[in-house]
Structure 1
Amino acid sequence: MRFGNDTLGLVVAVLALLIGALTSGSFSDRPDEPDPRASVRRPAPVTPPAGRPLPEASSRDPEIRIELGPKRDSSGTAFAIGRGLWMTARHVADGCAKVGIVTGPRRAVRGSEVVVHQNADLALFRAPVRAAPVAVAVADDDLRIGQPGYHFGFPGGEPGALRSSLLGRGVLRESGRYSTREPVLAWAEVRRVPDRDEPLSGISGGPVFDSAGRLVGVHVAGSVRRGRSFTTAPRSMRELWARTGVTPAADGPVPALNDDDFVAAGERLRKDLVVAKAICVTG
């Protein structure tokens, strides 16, 4: 992988008019589900009892099907995983003529060298933005049912955070402009800030941390109607890192997290550009 240093510049001003909801806004549990962009009241939070180890992947794991429409100008979330290296969801960065990291009002830095996971909703790209990389992901066998997850990003294009609880495993099938079949983790939504009954479009590509501040997944899909979020499995992230020769940091800037301070922690991560808005221009 080579490094790129082009600046996206004032194109952000134009993008403000062009960028719609992130492609993940079209995510649904099945093709005939109503448009998830419509406001739908979320179900009551579900918090499974914690403690039981996450089972191994199984052929009986529930399947989530997603049809990907044509790529369009959009925004999502990315986070620093190395020096000048950013991770996001594949559907955020794949198919873009230009990708970039927003660094301030009407300012962005252009990215380059997008590399996608061939069978998972993950991508890496280069962008010359200084930010401390997050800590390496935990192993799958470190995860336990009911443990908290803390999601950070830009739902609806605005700063936001989500607290969830690990439910179990699933299989994500994406079809349309590309096809993948990957193991994912399913999370039950417990709390979101701001508390809006809207899809989480825009948080796709954002990191999910455990209570120790370690990366456990990347947010890739959700269902407002069911109060569910889906993240990549840790093994998929390790596969992409191994393919590209990336060695993530052992320690990172994310503090220990709990239900009282995770919102403030997310604000600091966005301020320090550890977690940033990612933009995509297709033309």
Structure 2
Amino acid sequence: MAQRRSGCLPLILGLILIAVWVGGEESDLPPLQTEAFDPRSPRRPLPQFERETYVIQDRDGPARDSMGTAFVVDSDGVWLTAEHVTHGCARFGLEEDGMPIAVSRVLESREADVALIRDGQQSVAILPLTARAPEPGGLGYHMGFPAGEPMVVQSELIGAADARRGMADSAEPVLVWAERSRQPERDGTLSGISGGPTLGEDGHVVGVNSASTDRRGRVLTTDPAAVIRLVEAARAVDERAQPRPIAGLSDADRQFRQWLASGIIRRAFCDVDD
């Protein structure tokens, strides 16, 4: 495989956008109101299974301004992203015409790394969800903005596992994928793809991008059943989209570019209080 190359300029430009966004009158920006959803209460404990556990970044560390990805699942302005993308943000926004547009209502899952945005930009089209994970060996297409630039990562599903963030007591259900190729080809971390959709070969969203391990070439995504539990708890999604099957990486990249042009997938920006 040809060596991939990547620079940090797009990420720097993204952080500059955050600085410009909050550099004016902060009173004009709605503060982020966060709700929590956790089905793992003592009354409704989820079953525990012995399976491989991955340790990923510590969510309880100091929050900082950052950039991720989000995608729309209901035309009234309901979006999904990763919970660690919204966690600790004082203000949160979705990009439109090169600037973040602030949102104020987010429902964060405490079961898995997924968050639902209630008041994002409206859309004429949405991405279709499913609770069913692909079979091991199936292909997935991770979409988002690593280092601030659009990219599709093709991977092969290894199977289900658990993930722990730092020293957290509880584990999150995830799917583990082995990276195969990228479009466009470039090296570097996948940071910034978090919160974007992972689509299966049948065109359904089968997870939200959560983490990656550069050394092992693994991509972790949320369990799709956990995503559906959050969506159903929010009672904010009442539409179903028709999936479009994906015929390989080039087709995935073509669909991704169309969705970028129509605003279905966007960069997301987090601003934290100093």
Task: Bin the TM-score by the shorter chain.
Answer: 0.7 to 0.9
Unaligned stretches of 5+ in structure 2? 1-13, 23-46
Equivalence map 1:145-224=2 (5 Å): 145-175=136-166, 180-224=170-214
Equivalence map 1:65-214=2 (5 Å): 65-66=55-56, 67-68=58-59, 69-82=61-74, 83-105=76-98, 107-131=99-123, 132-140=125-133, 143-175=134-166, 180-214=170-204
Distance 1:102 1:12, change over 3 A: farther
SS at match of 1:261: helix
SS at match of 2:185: coil
C-alpha separation in 2, matches of 1:59 and 1:242: 24
The one-letter amino acid paired with 1:205 is G
Counterpart of 2:245 in structure 1 is 256
Contact 1:64 1:172 in 2 (8 A): yes
Q: Percent identity?
A: 34
Distance 1:238 1:245, change over 3 A: same
Shift of 1:91: 0.5
C-alpha separation in 1, matches of 2:266 and 2:182: 18
Counterpart of 2:18 in structure 1 is 15
Shift of 1:180: 4.4
Shift of 1:12: 7.8
C-alpha separation in 1, matches of 2:162 and 2:155: 19
Contact 1:138 1:214 in 2 (8 A): no
Of 197, 205, 215, the match for 1:225: 215
- Tell me how many residue pairs correspond in the alignment: 231
C-alpha separation in 1, matches of 2:147 and 2:17: 18
Shift of 1:16: 6.0
C-alpha separation in 1, matches of 2:163 and 2:118: 26
The alignment's C-alpha RMSD in Å is 2.4
The alignment's TM-score, normalised by the length of structure 1, stands at 0.75
Counterpart of 2:6 in structure 1 is none
Counterpart of 2:41 in structure 1 is none
The alignment's TM-score, normalised by the length of structure 2, stands at 0.78
C-alpha separation in 2, matches of 1:65 and 1:13: 31
SS at match of 1:258: coil
Contact 2:21 2:100 in 1 (8 A): no
